[in-house]
Amino acid sequence: MKHLILGALSLFMLGQVMSQDIHIIPEPESVNPNGQSFVLSASTKILGSMPEKATNSIHFFSQYLASYYKFQPADANNAADSKGNVIYFQMQAPAQGDTIGAYTLHVSKDSVIIAAANEQGLFYGMQTLIQLLPTTVSSALTIPGVDIQDAPQLGYRGMMLDCCRHFMPVDFVKKFIDYLALHKLNRFHWHLTDDQGWRIEIKKYPKLTQVGAWRNGTIIGHHPGTGNDNQRTGGYYTQDQIKEIVQYAADRYITVIPEIEMPGHASAAIAAYPDLSAFPNQSTEIASNTPWAGPTTGKQVEQTWGVFPDVFVPSNNTFRFLENVLDEVMALFPSKYIHIGGDECPKDYWKKSDYCQQLMKNAGLENEEQLQSYFIKTIEKYVVSKGHQIIGWDEILEGGLAPQATVMSWRGQQGGIEAAKQNHHVIMSPNGYFYFDHAQSKPSDSLTIGGFLPISKVYSFHPYPEALPANQHQFILGVQANLWTEYIASPAKAEYMIFPRISALSEVGWSKPSVKNYDNFKTRLQTELQRYQLWGVNYCKNWDQ
């Protein structure tokens, strides 16, 4: 009897150890340790029941092992190879009600089996397997035995990268996409045009990149700046590079959503083509307290941050320009959605413009907010005619929402609530929870735009507002965090602002509220921080505040 008790106790303790070793972010629906363990090495075989469906997952996993553990298992060729030490991707027949991305993961002594009804599920099951790997490098990796059942809560789980305020190289954009994939995020919102730079090659309008992609200097320090670096800076992505990045993301089941800003945040485009302005012959307004480099006359790409008065004039010429731009954009991005901005559009130039005032009178528009709605609706009609839909920041609600527009709610949650009540789709992206350019430590240990956003607040977000009736929750597509780069000039600083808050974002978007617990999350995050070290990520160390 004594031996039986000791044996049971040993098994219990083994289960406890295994349980402690299983630290997964985002938290799955169910995690059940089974007391076994699997040893992964170069002799492990990897195969799939339908190899073509598992190709992306197998390739990503093999490359991950090669990059961080310096070995690769062998791809198996047929079902006969499934005996012994094997990782098996099993494609199941879809069932009614299957969630895209759902999977099961079974780890036993002889095998790891990832099963799903779709390719995304295989991929996310593989990402969970990565989190079961030890964070110390070895040629034999012991994985705890476990049974996991999992599925995402929300269909849209995204992050935005602003490459306009500071241009980011192609290699980092790909790395950013990998970071999203490793956290089971599936949308990459790519901010490509703004006042400080136009970053996408448009062949019909070469001046957009010849002129609009470059600025003559950048302010030093916090806005309005203590000086100017007087360095010409900028860059853009060629169409070939964009195709490469879009495919790179697709191989990771991430959709790239491009953003072409309008009608505000258009200084770079107007610098290239002044006739897009209501006042083409008027020089860019430069505030007296803004340190400036280079010419001060004519239309200029902005060198500081903020909101600027020169915006697109809603003329036939502007709409033809934007339609031609969007034609090239839509040919590059297969995404259902095209983000058209719509935020922070000053109305002063429209108020002063005889053309705009006459247009309002002719169209029966009562104010400039309705003129902005007219602008957005005109663009939406064109985008929809090409088989796409628009997303806009929540300002597109002002003056009347375009018929099929999706609203990205950034000024808190109210815009999202209002849009959902109008039966429009919504992506929750409130700045108080998801603006990763805000400081994450107190006092801030680097220059930031301001604000304080600790990881605990990111984690606390609930996608479905209490003010929204349950029968309208269906209009909440998901959540997104944003990395604006006014004060983020390098990939290293970008990583620092992303990590570890991206882990909290991933759990907000993926995990059901019933399995979320912040104290437990912090425990699991300790293992994730070790993984960041394995990746060589520049993450914030003072996150627990």
Name the residues annotated as catalytic. Answer: 344
Per residue, the 3-state secondary structure of 261-317, as one string, reads EECCCCHHHHHHCHHHECCCCCCCCCCCCCCCCCCCCCCCCCCCCCCCCCCECCCHH
Collapsed DSSP state (helix, strand, coil) of residue 459? helix
Task: Look at residues 266, 289, 126, 268 and name the one whose alpha carbon lies nearest to residue 219.
Answer: 289
Instruction: Report d(CA 118, CA 65) in Å as an integer.
Output: 23
**Tokens at 396, concatenated:** 């597109």
Task: Look at residues 531, 537, 536 and name the one whose alpha carbon lies nearest to residue 132.
Answer: 531
* CB atoms inside a 10 Å sphere around CB 135: 16
Instruction: Report d(CA 85, CA 109) in Å as an integer.
Output: 8
Instruction: Report d(CA 500, CA 537) in Å as an integer.
Output: 10
Which DSSP symbol is given to 200? B
Task: Look at residues 226, 246, 219, 243 and name the one whose alpha carbon lies nearest to residue 165.
Answer: 219
Cα-trace Rg, the chain = 25
Q: Evaluate whether 350 touches 311 at the Cβ level (below 8 Å).
A: yes
**Tokens at 351, concatenated:** 């108020």
Any idea what the Cα angle at residue 175 is, between residues 238 and 248, rounded to 5°?
55
Instruction: Report d(CA 145, CA 39) in Å as an integer.
Output: 10
Which DSSP symbol is given to 394? G
Residue type present at position 187: R
Residue type present at position 224: P
Beta bridge partners of 476: 426
* CB atoms inside a 10 Å sphere around CB 466: 8
- Percent helix, strand and coil across the chain, each rounded to 5? 40, 20, 40
What angle in degrees, to the nearest 10, is found between the helix axes of 119-132 and 170-182? 90
Task: Locate all alpha helices (DSSP H) within 460-517, ordered by sequence.
Answer: 491-498, 501-510
Q: Which residue has the tokens 């999977």?
A: 103
